[in-house]
Structure 1
Amino acid sequence: MTTVPALRTAGEADIDNVADLIADSFDHIDVIHFLVPDPDLRRPVTRDWYRLYVEHAIGGAGQVVMTADGAAAAVWFDRTGAPSEPEDYDKRLAELAGEHLDHFQHLDRQMEARHPTDPHWHLLFLAVRPDRWSQGLGSALMDHTHARLDAEGVPAYLEATSEQNRKLYRRHGYTDMIPPVIEVSAVAHLYRMWRPTQNH
């Protein structure tokens, strides 16, 4: 019997810790390898990129929910109205990405072109510290926000990063969209998934 972890809403003091957590848990993902092929540069560059979005969500564009022990976090964005981007995004992205800027811009274009237009909440990052994988932390974080979204009648959307993740998300009510795949590169794919409101 897995104990459901204590959860809390992240605040400004958590921004750097959540960015570090995402960097630790996403290092193996094909899309992240596409963004920064050099393994020595990958973590510092992508960590600063994650931080932009964590800061933006916590600043009012969405919500970040995390386990009380900091081992897992979910970064959500409210897309029930007009979408927004982090402050000074283009300038800050150019500064952090450096020679990899075209890769980040390519990913942004691919994701935004295929983003659903119906009102929803977007789960951009679901991160669990690698030594805590397969302990139900990601599921607990999703269940927490899904319960609120269901009560409000709001669907959810995400881009899965692997076939294994697609299986997890299907268990939480997500289904493949048409077309399902965002081909970021020849070997790096994202999978568009939509979760209609669930009636419990």
Structure 2
Amino acid sequence: MSAAIRTATSADAVAVTELIAQAFEPLGASAYLVPDLSVRREVLAGQFIIMVEHALAVGQVDVIGAASPVAAAVWFDHTAPVPPPPDYDNRLKAATGQWHSRFLHLDEVLESNHPTEPHHFLLFLAVHPDHQNHGLGSALLDHHHTTALGGNPAYLDAASPASRDLYARHGYEGRPPYDIAAGARFWPMWRP
């Protein structure tokens, strides 16, 4: 597959959200957030759409795939204050239902580990399972690093050892990992 990268539009929001939910469904953090596998992807997508729509409004969403994205990167520029998504608390509660407290816990832990220095923040990097290990994630990282960083550092929270290793190959340095629950570890990473 060609790695032609384009900037997503609001018309891509649902497809990008579904892609992220599918790619993130097997992660330990996802299993903690929504233990019921039969609804996990749907509930995750309910939270992810809030953040994808917000990134389309105030951040940057890059995708690979003309008709339907097969890879996506969701970035926020934290070199200036980033407002919260509109009506986030109510939307999150409606989207996550009985698992709302787990998503609140995730938000609190992520926020407490987030650096205060100016940086670009990679919230999501997702590649469709059928297209993983073909360089699409690397292409999206390289694209942002060369076109948008402007000499600024970048930060992310890797949610698996495989993603941690991918980011390390792109110049991200590991910080001490933290757990949101048993089996749900994050590896914060900083690219100077």
TM-score bracket for this pair, using the shorter chain length: over 0.9
Structure 1 residue 83 displacement after superposition: 2.8
Instruction: Classify the secondary structure of the residue corresponding to 2:123.
Output: strand
Amino acid at match of 1:140: A
CA distance in 2, matches of 1:64, 1:184: 26
- Is the 1:128–1:137 contact (alpha carbons within 8 Å) kept by the matching residues of 2? yes
In terms of mean alpha carbon deviation, does 67-76 or 100-109 score higher?
67-76
Q: Structure 1 regions of 5+ residues with no counterpart?
A: none
CA distance in 1, matches of 2:47, 2:122: 16
Instruction: Classify the secondary structure of the residue corresponding to 2:177.
Output: strand
In the TM superposition, what are the counterparts of 1:1-200 in structure 2 within 5 Å?
5-60=3-58, 62-69=59-66, 70-150=69-149, 152-177=150-175, 180-196=176-192
Structure 1 residue 189 displacement after superposition: 0.4
Amino acid at match of 2:4: A
CA distance in 2, matches of 1:44, 1:189: 22
Structure 1 residue 59 displacement after superposition: 0.8
Runs of 4+ in 1 over 3 A off after TM superposition: none
CA RMSD of aligned residues (A): 1.1
CA distance in 2, matches of 1:83, 1:32: 25
Show CA shifts across 1:116-135 (max 9, x none): 00001110100000000100
TM-score after normalising by structure 2:
0.96
Instruction: Classify the secondary structure of the residue corresponding to 1:87.
Output: coil
Number of residue equivalences:
190
Amino acid at match of 1:67: I
In terms of mean alpha carbon deviation, does 75-84 or 90-99 score higher?
75-84
Structure 1 residue 186 displacement after superposition: 1.6
In terms of mean alpha carbon deviation, does 124-133 or 62-71 score higher?
62-71
Show CA shifts across 1:7-45 (max 9, x none): 100011000010011111111100011100001121111
- Is the 1:72–1:129 contact (alpha carbons within 8 Å) kept by the matching residues of 2? yes
Show CA shifts across 1:28-67 (max 9, x none): 100011100001121111111111000000012x100001
Instruction: Classify the secondary structure of the residue corresponding to 1:184.
Output: strand
- Is the 1:4–1:140 contact (alpha carbons within 8 Å) kept by the matching residues of 2? no
CA distance in 2, matches of 1:116, 1:149: 19
CA distance in 2, matches of 1:102, 1:155: 32
Show CA shifts across 1:70-113 (max 9, x none): 11000001111113221100000011111101000000000001
In terms of mean alpha carbon deviation, does 49-58 or 79-88 score higher?
79-88
CA distance in 1, matches of 2:65, 2:134: 15
Structure 1 residue 166 displacement after superposition: 1.2
CA distance in 2, matches of 1:32, 1:91: 21
